[in-house]
Amino acid sequence: MAGVCRALWEYLALNILSELTMKHVYYKEHKFSCKTKEEKININLRAVKYVTKVYSGSPAEAFGLQPGDFLGTVNGVAAIDVDLSSIYDAKTNNHYFVHRASESRSFYIEGCHLPLGIEAENTTKNIVKSFEEGEFDDSELYQLWERKDWKSLLKASVHASNQENWFSRIFAKLLKLEVPGIAILTHGIALYELGEKSKGLELIENYRDEHIDGWTTNWHALTFYYLGLAERENGNMEEAHKLLYTSEYYCRCDVLHAMLLTFGIEESDKEPWTGEFFPIDFHLDNFEGTKEYQLSKIIDGLEPNKLLYLCVMPSYRGNGPYNDRVATYEKLIDNFSDLTSPLYVISDKKEASETMPGWYIENEKKLLAEGKPLIQLYDEDRQVADVLDQSTSPNIYILNKQGKIIDSGLGFYYQNIWTLLEKEIGSVLTIEESSE
């Protein structure tokens, strides 16, 4: 399949692209080029992803890409088979084919190894199909929930929990197959939304009692939301509001915020520090106890236009989101080293617990082994997290030379670097247009 897609790309490049309108985007010596063409194409929805976000200040925005566009192929491979975060590891050019069905317009993009500036997700049918084939990705269950496609969420959850029929249930028990806790929760949520509220609530409560500690806070928010709904329907309004406010406390999702708002639960300011100066001039030793670091001195030594990254990790030595954020930081230090300072990780835990999976700090170990600038600071009394009143772990705080927080939160995305740069130093891209 990859060979066929690559051959198709080469044919288009040789026979059609010379007729298209061309736009070039430069970041320093790095180049992106986009050719657009008005054409009708029958898109195979089984093979594409669709664009969910275009970051401001990015090459993708400069080329006019929009949420809802179909990402057809990446480097000659069907988009459904591509992890966008992985294609930037090798410093090679990347080719993207994007189609906007509503305008019969195609975008043929050739870019350098830097991020294009988009987020893309699988279609609902592709997500369900992947679960049918035995793959599991809890983020895709969350995407189905955000889309409020309860029947598809039910299908995916049932497949993930080996509950699709009597044979699979018996087979799973005989082999003692572990059921992902999240699949229990989303199975319950889907049943609840589809009208089987008693059965659904039983599964949601099972997740709360047996599995909640093993998963991230976005799932906490959904758990307390549905427990709150159940209490509300039973007339226990005081308990319902406690649970719904707890859901809002953990909430990181615009869809859930909107649903909570219908019950009068207004969105709190999740990132109260963005736009403010970092609220504490900490003095912390590194994990080895050999050197003290003071924030004000770190900022004083920050080179112009460099961004300072603080990762605050209360109560954790590592977790899945932390491992992902460190991988993102590695891409930044590899490709935007002139704009990126060391990553300072602040935690009250020096040692991993016996039960913590080793992969939670896999990328951290990799960075340290390669001598890349990651500095671990010991905050025994959690003074930094307490001043920040931080409810999630990790949170990333990105500071400028003045010590002001220009971005913060659990989210920390490689594609978002263009927005951060635009926010701090203005547009960093040069754009040229031509007709060929």
Domain boundaries, the chain: 2-122, 127-261, 283-420
Span 190-208, average pLDDT:
95
pLDDT over threshold 60, residue 166: no
CB 397 within 8 A of CB 325: no
pLDDT over threshold 90, residue 435: no
Span 213-230, average pLDDT:
89
pLDDT over threshold 60, residue 3: no
From the candidate CATH numbers 3.90.1150.30, 3.30.300.30, 3.30.70.890, 3.40.30.10, the one assigned to the domain spanning 283-420: 3.40.30.10
What is the predicted pLDDT for the residue at 13? 44
Span 167-195, average pLDDT:
69
Q: Which letter does DSSP use for residue 310 in this model? A: E
What is the predicted pLDDT for the residue at 135? 83
From the candidate CATH numbers 1.20.120, 1.25.40, 3.30.300, 1.20.58, the one assigned to the domain spanning 127-261: 1.25.40
CA atoms within 13 A on the CB side of 12: 22
What is the predicted pLDDT for the residue at 19? 54
**Alpha helices for 164-273 (secondary structure H):** 166-174, 181-193, 197-210, 217-233, 237-250, 254-261
Q: Note the pLDDT tens digit of each residue in 367-408.
A: 999 999 999 999 999 999 999 988 778 889 999 999 999 888
CB 242 within 8 A of CB 225: no
pLDDT over threshold 90, residue 263: no
Residue 106: which of 114, 95, 115 has the closest Cα?
95
**Quick one: angle between helices 217-233 and 237-250, nearest 10?**
160
Bigger pLDDT: 254 vs 331 = 331
Q: Note the pLDDT tens digit of each residue in 51-64.
A: 999 999 999 999 99
Q: Tell me which of 31-45, 67-81, 277-291 is least confident.
A: 31-45
DSSP structure string for 80-132: GG--GGGTTSS-S-EEEEEEEGGGTEEEEEEE-SS--SEEEEE-HHHHHHHHH
Q: What percent of the chain has pLDDT over 70?
A: 88
Residue whose structure tokens are 């001043």? 387
What is the predicted pLDDT for the residue at 278? 93
CATH of domain 2-122: 2.30.42
What is the predicted pLDDT for the residue at 347? 95
CB 72 within 8 A of CB 99: yes
Q: Note the pLDDT tens digit of each residue in 61-112.
A: 999 999 999 999 999 999 988 888 888 766 788 999 999 988 899 999 999 8
CA 89, chain centre distance (Å): 17
Bridging pattern class, strands 105-111 and 374-378: unpaired
Q: Note the pLDDT tens digit of each residue in 398-431.
A: 999 999 998 887 667 788 889 888 888 888 899 9
What is the predicted pLDDT for the residue at 267? 60
Q: How far apart are CA 14 and CA 352, in angstroms?
A: 55
In three-state secondary structure terms, 2 is helix
248 burial (CB, 10 Å; 0-12 / 13-18 / 19+) is: buried
pLDDT over threshold 60, residue 7: no
What is the predicted pLDDT for the residue at 90? 64
